Amino acid sequence: MKTMVAILMIVLTNQSDALEQYSFTEKQQACYATAMIGYDYVINSRVGLPIEHALNTVSVSMSASNIHNIYKTELKNIVSHAYQWRGDPHIYAVKVLYECAYSDGIKSYS
């Protein structure tokens, strides 16, 4: 029993170190969050939430001062495009994530 507890402690300790090693930067977190919001709004459009309610929700969320700039400038566009998207929600999320990562990559080299 003691050996099982010791092995479990070793495994858990190694996993927590791995999580810290692969944490996202602030820009990566913002891109991922934006993609997940787009994913949610594609689903919201499919279940019948009117776009007016969705955009009102976004404008309320954008009033916080600690929100990354990507939300302030592009989130309404993401929601509007999500409502027009006819494909799979997962593909839309990947598209948004890729575009965000690509645009941040271009900005960092400029």
pLDDT in tens, the chain (110 residues): 666 556 656 666 655 545 555 677 878 888 888 899 999 999 999 999 898 888 887 765 555 555 666 566 678 888 899 999 999 999 999 999 998 888 865 555 44
Instruction: Tell me, yes or no, whether 89 lies in a domain.
Output: yes
User: Is 13 within the bounds of a domain?
Assistant: no
Examine residue 10 and state whether it is found in any structural domain, yes or no.
no
Q: 75 with 82: CB under 8 angstroms?
A: no
In the numeric block, which tokens belong to residue 90? 């997962």
- The answer to whether residue 7 is domain-embedded is no
Residue 47 lies in a domain: yes
Q: Is residue 1 part of a domain?
A: no
Its pTM stands at 0.66
Please report whether residue 3 resides in a domain: no
The sign of the CA dihedral 90, 92, 93, 99 is positive
Cα-Cα-Cα-Cα dihedral sign, residues 31, 47, 45, 93: positive
Q: Give me the domain span that covers residue 42.
A: 24-109
What pLDDT is attached to residue 74?
75
Residue 49 forms part of a structural domain: yes
* Residue 14 identity: N
Our count of domains for the chain comes to 1
